[in-house]
Amino acid sequence: MRKKVIFKLFAALVLTISFGIIPYHSASAANHSAESVAASTFNDGVTQINYLALGDSLAAGVDSNNNLGKGYADILAESMGELNLPHSFNKGFAYPGYKTADVLKDISENKTGAIVGHGFDKTSTTIHEAIKNSNLITLSVGANDVLAALKIDKATGKVEYDEAQLGEALLQVGFNMNEIIKLIHAINPDVNVYIMGYYNPFPHLPKEIQPLLNNLLVNLNGAIYKATASHQKVTFVPTHTEIAKDFQVNVPNPANIHLSSTGHRVVAKQFWESFGLLTMNVSFSDTENHWAKPFISAAVERGVFKGYADGTFRPDEQLTRAQAAAILVRALNLDIQNTTATPFKDIGNYSLLTQAEIKTAYHYGIIKGHGDYFKPSDKVINAEIALMLQRVVELKTGKPFAISPEFGQLFGDIEPNDPITRAQASMILVNFMQLMN
């Protein structure tokens, strides 16, 4: 199986150099699961990655159905959690419809806003405080300035605009972006700012109009780049080429200019590449001749399972309770319960993402604890997985679940008290998802 993966160890190294994170390694780390290593990768006195996302609907997370959800900023924060990197995240100052003048006004007037993200012990902050306490900022703004100068009849593909008005809009984008960066660095001279470039939002319009749209796109990205290129600690992140490669998937709705979840992931990937992380095609080194390779491939492609930083999957490693909770949350695509109070005393050493997945599984009643303890590193046996899946069915259907022959076939010849391996769990989950569908 060929998969595009980020080499997480290299990623951690790059982030360590960029943000001053001080790593150390436990003598027994080699024997830990990926989740357990989170407790021994960084010491208690490390510098966090404090990530602030500013800008318009892309930063806020609007998708191709015009719903506000998980966008590229959320995905970047999620990736930091997967890398076991201490971090905070706030996208509370990103608003759909924002123009460069709106961001400039917010900073100039020191707007107060709700914190939308995680890693904070309060619910609101001022934008100056947010900038001052950040060491990483992404900014996507400028498209709405230009879109306001266009009139597009989506039925005919006809585009009307006033050339002078459009030129003025582009000049204003450049001027405002320059002022925004100056204000940001006046508040925090050391913060790294990544300016997210734009893509063609109208790829479904007739091909006759595409040269004009592409020219406008080049001018918009050019105005943003020119205004910010001379500043230190500022990087422009191009996105248009990668989005255009598969625009039917990345911008799937002809009636909406926003990205799909896949499109947001493409933008996030472009950030990591601009940041200096390598991506390449690799296969799991330990699954090529494994009996569960088709199930592992399917589980990874569905985002249920993940490989390890060393390029392995470790198919015969026994599944832990923490991993079981995580894969069930991913398989169901449940909304992560970041704000839910921690129900257990023994999950604090796990990554923020793993903690959130355990909280989510507990919130929906999929997993139970042992009093105040979850015992996340305990191995999962067949009977426990069966019980968790029974709860999943009842959650999805709202009805009591009766054991059927088809349900029993999910587990093959695994005995009730046998520990489950990662390979076996892949088989069970893939079969279960097909059965549920």
DSSP per residue over 208-257, as a string? GGHHHHHHHHHHHHHHHHHHHTTSTTEEEE--HHHHHHTHHHHS--TT--
- Looking at per-residue confidence, does 417 or 170 come out higher? 170
Scanning the structure block, which residue is given the tokens 């004009």? Answer: 212
Structure tokens at 350: 């796990």
- Which range, 81-85, 256-260, 340-344, 429-433, has the best average confidence (pLDDT)? 256-260
Average pLDDT over residues 134-141: 95
CATH topology of domain 3-275: Rossmann fold (3.40.50)
Spatial distance between the Cα atoms of 284 and 309, rounded to a whole number of angstroms: 10
pLDDT at 318: 93
Identify any residues that bridge with 235 across adjacent strands, giving them in sequence order.
Answer: 194
Is the Cβ–Cβ distance between 81 and 95 less than 8 Å? Answer: no
pLDDT at 126: 98
Structure tokens at 190: 């050391």
Structure tokens at 268: 């996030």
Spatial distance between the Cα atoms of 189 and 166, rounded to a whole number of angstroms: 33
Identify any residues that bridge with 194 across adjacent strands, giving them in sequence order.
Answer: 138, 235
Average pLDDT over residues 283-288: 82
Is the Cβ–Cβ distance between 61 and 264 less than 8 Å? Answer: yes
What are 244-271's pLDDT values in tens digits?
A: 989 999 999 988 999 999 999 999 988 9
What are 365-405's pLDDT values in tens digits?
A: 888 888 889 999 999 988 888 888 888 878 877 776 655 55
Scanning the structure block, which residue is given the tokens 């587990």? Answer: 411
Find, among 320, 335, 55, the residue nearest to 197 by Cα. 55
Spatial distance between the Cα atoms of 236 and 198, rounded to a whole number of angstroms: 10
Spatial distance between the Cα atoms of 368 and 361, rounded to a whole number of angstroms: 9
Is the Cβ–Cβ distance between 223 and 144 less than 8 Å? Answer: no
The CA–CA distances, whole Å, from 24 to 30, 81, 277, 410 equal 13, 17, 21, 42
Is the Cβ–Cβ distance between 210 and 140 less than 8 Å? Answer: no
- Looking at per-residue confidence, does 88 or 433 come out higher? 88
pLDDT at 26: 28
- Domain ranges within the chain, ordered by starting residue: 3-275, 286-436
pLDDT at 340: 62
Amino acid at 129: E
Is the Cβ–Cβ distance between 193 and 227 less than 8 Å? Answer: no
Spatial distance between the Cα atoms of 91 and 184, rounded to a whole number of angstroms: 16
Spatial distance between the Cα atoms of 295 and 198, rounded to a whole number of angstroms: 37
The SS3 of residue 62 is strand
Spatial distance between the Cα atoms of 345 and 130, rounded to a whole number of angstroms: 30
Structure tokens at 219: 């001018």
Spatial distance between the Cα atoms of 362 and 391, rounded to a whole number of angstroms: 11
Average pLDDT, the chain: 80
- pLDDT tier, 93 (very low <50, low <70, confident <90, very high otherwise): very high
Spatial distance between the Cα atoms of 50 and 191, rounded to a whole number of angstroms: 10
Give per-residue burial for 354-378: e unless 16+ CB within 10 Å, then b: bbbbbbbbbbbebbebeeeebebbb
pLDDT at 157: 65
45 has pLDDT over 50? no
Tell me which of 157-161, 280-284, 348-352, 392-396 is least confident: 280-284
Antiparallel, parallel or unpaired: β 87-94 and 117-118: antiparallel
What are 335-374's pLDDT values in tens digits?
A: 776 656 677 888 888 777 788 888 888 888 888 888 889 9
Q: In 260-347, where do the E strands start and end? A: 279-282
pLDDT at 397: 74
